[in-house]
């Protein structure tokens, strides 16, 4: 279990707002393992590459999560 997963489980986070933080691809990749534990995720202006954005969207769909609850860059996923 990643540190992010342990934190989210322990603290029962429903909304994770990381807007305007330099999360980057490595940080976004870490979130993939625990994205199913939160209801909403905001990653606007977090220095995440297009390929990582696609990877995140793919993982959300694979896990059957509503992509409309997750926003990265300047768009909501369901607008792509």
* Per-domain boundaries in the chain: 3-79
> Positive or negative, the Cα torsion across 13, 14, 16, 17?
negative
> Positive or negative, the Cα torsion across 21, 27, 31, 32?
positive
72 bridge partner residues: 43, 75
- pLDDT bucket at 80, cuts 50 / 70 / 90: very low
pLDDT at 12: 66
- Its pTM stands at 0.69
Closest CA to 60 of 77, 46, 73, 42: 77
Q: Name, in order, each residue with C-beta under 8 angstroms of 12's C-beta and a sequence gap of 6 or more.
A: none
Looking at residues 10-36, what average pLDDT do you find?
83
* Whether the Cβ atoms of residue 37 and residue 63 lie closer than 8 Å to each other: no
């Amino acid at each position: 279990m990643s540190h992010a997963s342990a934190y989210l489980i322990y603290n029962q986070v429903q909304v994770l707002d990381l807007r305007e933080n330099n999360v980057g691809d490595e940080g976004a990749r870490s979130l993939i393992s625990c994205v199913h534990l939160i209801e909403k995720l905001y990653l606007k202006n977090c220095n995440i590459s297009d390929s990582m954005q696609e990877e995140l969207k793919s993982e959300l769909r694979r896990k059957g999560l509503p992509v409309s609850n997750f926003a990265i860059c300047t768009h909501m996923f369901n607008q792509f």
